[in-house]
Structure 1
Amino acid sequence: MIEKCDLFQIKKDIETCIGEKVQLKANKGRKKAVIREGIIENSYPSIFIVKFENEYETTRRVSYSYTDILTKAVEVVVCKDNRKIQVS
């Protein structure tokens, strides 16, 4: 069962990481996962935005919900001072 306090804690954790470089692993179904590095750009009441840049110098912004983290569809690892900190 999803607890409201769990979602609130995840939202709070994400808000403290705005502007930080993160490694994000998103499950795409059928045992497929995408691992990318980006920057948490902003946080909203039910979603957060991650900005990705690729080798072609283009920027892509992708939104994820806090429920994605709670259900483990998305894993976020914050890269701080060459240390990795798990957000869950």
Structure 2
Amino acid sequence: MPTTLATIKDNLDHRIGEELMVVAQAGRKKTTERHGVLKETYPAVFVVDLDQDENSFERVSYSYTDILTKNIEIDFEMDKDES
């Protein structure tokens, strides 16, 4: 598991264009799942283009800190296919 913001960004830089699922904390014992494609990475955030069939908005951005603090988890769809 990546432990620094730089390693998280580096890992995501190599996966641009891949499908993923973001599981975000949405309050007490609640989570939301969103499916999309990793579109871009920036110095502090990354952008996910969302699946239009299940979301009312087109894209969402998260900070690398969200991953580090476990506010969100990301699972790449290709990883699931291989296992």
Could you say whether these structures have the same fold, taking a TM-score greater than 0.5 normalized by the shorter chain as the test?
A: yes
Deviation at 1:52, TM superposition (A): 0.5
User: Displaced runs of 4+ in structure 1, greater than 4 A?
Assistant: 56-59
Query: Identity, % of aligned pairs?
Result: 39
Using the size of structure 2 for normalisation, the TM-score is 0.84
Answer 1 or 2: which has greater helix percent: 2
Q: Match for 2:5: what amino acid?
A: L
Q: Which residue does the alignment assign to 2:12?
A: 14
Answer 1 or 2: which has greater strand percent: 1
Q: Match for 1:83: what amino acid?
A: E
Using the size of structure 1 for normalisation, the TM-score is 0.80
Q: Which runs of 5+ in 1 are unaligned?
A: none
CA deviation string 1:5-43 (max 9, x = no partner): 711000001111100000110101111100121100000
CA RMSD of aligned residues (A): 2.2
